[in-house]
Structure 1
């Protein structure tokens, strides 16, 4: 799980700049096609080599400022979310969490205190995310009209943003297929208590909620 080292050949500034843009997009995209990319030690090592070369260029002072984690709160937050969603995080020992954090934060520059703060924040979000998940379910059970349905939608959107590991169906396609399957299965079951000809707001909320979890 340690970050790997590379022997980067190019020293051309604009080649390095383009590599930086590509790697930044790959590591910190908010909705990646492959979520495992952000936690790759190989990618982290390559990116650190690129940054090391940029810090030796004529624009080194600008890069040193840009790369300070304290100046990049957007990427800091994305890294925390990615740390939580990686499979190893919840069961990792403290030293392993430290390594995971270093991989996800690469190539940014930070102090030991800043690293510890990131790890603590990532651990704290477990509780916050469970609160969101519980709130969504509770709201679904109490939807009665348009306003409460809108409140449910807002909670569901926030739950998707901060608690994506719990979502069985993460893509739009999977989400829609899950809703369709649940309607088909539940409407034919013995426990069906919904008027499918005139569904109400609570039914719509339930359909959307099952899009999150139904397999």
Structure 2
């Protein structure tokens, strides 16, 4: 089976990015597995790579760097709390070691990236949420 999605339209690519972002960071998801799906993340990685390349061609290195900066996750982003809610629903979280929590967190927040400080802050918040259940 082969499936290939192709577009040369920047705005169609941007719409696909927005649709994926909405599906991963929905405040009231119908399917809780979408936000942590490695398959969705793999597809998103392809879209993101293409989007960054398109931005580079359209607006140069500065445009690409704006996107890279936008994809840095911190507590001020709405998606932070949505991702925390995803972790809160994960029954195994409290049984995992820190490495497994880091891996899961990176999958849940993708396409956003966390620096080490924010990664540990997120895990601490998630630990506090899951312990209070």
- TM-score interval (norm. to shorter): 0.7 to 0.9
The equivalent position to 2:37 in structure 1, one of 40, 62, 72, is 40
Where does structure 1 lack aligned partners over 5 or more consecutive residues? 1-6, 131-215
Counterpart of 1:116 in structure 2 is 120
User: Partners of 1:88 and 1:14 in 2: how far apart?
Assistant: 39
Indicate yes or no: 2:23 matched with 1:19. Answer: no
Indicate yes or no: 2:80 matched with 1:76. Answer: yes
User: Partners of 1:99 and 1:15 in 2: how far apart?
Assistant: 31
User: Partners of 1:99 and 1:18 in 2: how far apart?
Assistant: 28
Counterpart of 1:28 in structure 2 is 25
Task: After TM superposition, give the deviation of residue 36 of structure 1 in Å.
Answer: 1.4
Is contact 2:73-2:114 (8 Å) kept? yes
Task: After TM superposition, give the deviation of residue 126 of structure 1 in Å.
Answer: 2.4
Alpha-carbon RMSD across the aligned residues, in angstroms, is 2.2
Is contact 2:37-2:107 (8 Å) kept? yes
Where does structure 2 lack aligned partners over 5 or more consecutive residues? none
Task: After TM superposition, give the deviation of residue 75 of structure 1 in Å.
Answer: 0.3
Counterpart of 1:179 in structure 2 is none
User: Partners of 1:71 and 1:60 in 2: how far apart?
Assistant: 23
Structure 1 runs (4+) greater than 6 angstroms displaced = none
Counterpart of 1:180 in structure 2 is none
Count, aligned residues: 123
The normalised TM-score by structure 2 is 0.78
Counterpart of 1:125 in structure 2 is 129
Counterpart of 2:66 in structure 1 is 62
Task: After TM superposition, give the deviation of residue 91 of structure 1 in Å.
Answer: 2.2
The normalised TM-score by structure 1 is 0.51
